[in-house]
């Protein structure tokens, strides 16, 4: 443990990693999403892709954990079950891509996906067909592929729910619970692939503290009457993180 602490403290860019973890938690706390969109473009500039995703999934289990009991109570269990099962079936293919990807390609892909998601949010792009059980299953599969390969499972799920007739409370609850269970599935996948080792796991535990603090602060300041303001702030933070990652990948 002392050796891991010494290695972590000697890591160039550790301060940026801690700041990104707090900011990602803050956005997740008041917007209900955005952890990976904020954290990964920054983390991928500091550590390699597999380490970046390892840190994210270890860190992200604690941040939303206090909200999970409420999310399970407020959510729609049938949709959640379909999403999680679809993700579990597709996740191994996504992980295979992650373990083989070139770091530069990963940086570029994460930043492009984050910017594309941001553009979809800002332009109101959404799925326009009926939200059937098959569509929910397919969305879970798409999220498993994207989440396994790039650590960003949220876009397919969020775009689906933007077309849903569920009230905002249910959508927020299901999204929060889904992302928590996705992280749990990723940990299982990393464990069986032999990737849960050493420094990246320790870094995940280290940045868990500022991430949890950010989640608590974001949740405390959230006011449903100012939801549009929080959304705009989240968009600005995601844009800044994604553009920094894109610049790093192209220079």
Do the beta carbons of residue 31 and residue 237 sit within 8 Å? no
pTM: 0.88
* 83 closest CA partner among 75, 190, 151: 75
Angle at 48 between CA 46 and CA 49, to 5 degrees: 115
Question: Up-side HSE of residue 99: CA atoms within 13 Å toward CB?
Answer: 14
The confidence score (pLDDT) of residue 1 equals 65
DSSP 31-60: HS--HHHHHHHHHTTTS-HHHHHHHHHHHH
The Cα diameter of the chain in Å comes to 54
How confident is the model at residue 92, as a pLDDT?
96
**pLDDT values of the chain reduced to their tens digit, one per residue, 251 residues:** 678 888 988 999 999 999 999 999 998 888 777 889 999 999 999 999 999 999 999 998 876 677 788 888 887 888 899 999 999 999 999 999 999 999 989 999 999 988 988 888 788 777 777 778 899 999 999 999 999 999 999 888 888 877 777 777 788 788 888 988 999 999 999 999 998 888 999 999 999 999 989 988 988 887 777 777 888 888 899 999 999 999 888 88
Q: In the chain, what are the domain boundaries? A: 2-250
Number of H helices and E strands in the chain, helices first, is 12, 0
């Amino acid at each position: 443990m002392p050796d891991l602490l010494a290695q972590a403290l000697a890591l160039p860019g550790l301060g940026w990693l801690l700041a990104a973890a707090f900011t990602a938690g803050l956005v997740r706390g008041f917007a209900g999403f955005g952890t990976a969109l904020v954290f990964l473009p920054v983390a991928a500039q500091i550590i390699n892709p597999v380490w970046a995703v390892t840190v994210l999934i270890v860190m992200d289990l604690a941040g939303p954990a206090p909200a999970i009991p409420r999310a399970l109570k407020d959510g729609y269990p049938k949709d959640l079950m379909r999403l999680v099962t679809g993700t579990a079936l597709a996740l191994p293919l996504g992980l295979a891509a992650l373990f083989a990807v070139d770091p530069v390609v990963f940086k570029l892909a994460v930043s492009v996906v984050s910017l594309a998601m941001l553009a979809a949010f800002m332009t109101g792009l959404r799925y326009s067909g009926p939200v059937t059980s098959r569509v929910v299953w397919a969305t879970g599969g798409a999220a498993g592929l994207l989440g396994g390969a790039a650590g960003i499972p949220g876009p397919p799920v969020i775009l689906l729910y933007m077309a849903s007739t569920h009230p905002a409370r249910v959508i927020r609850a299901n999204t929060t619970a889904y992302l928590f269970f996705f992280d749990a599935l990723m940990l299982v996948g990393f464990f069986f692939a032999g990737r849960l080792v050493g420094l990246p796991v320790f870094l995940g535990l280290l940045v868990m503290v500022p991430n949890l603090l950010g989640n608590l602060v974001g949740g405390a300041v959230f006011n449903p009457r100012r939801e549009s303001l929080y959304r705009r702030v989240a968009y600005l933070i995601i844009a800044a993180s994604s553009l920094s990652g894109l610049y790093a990948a192209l220079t």
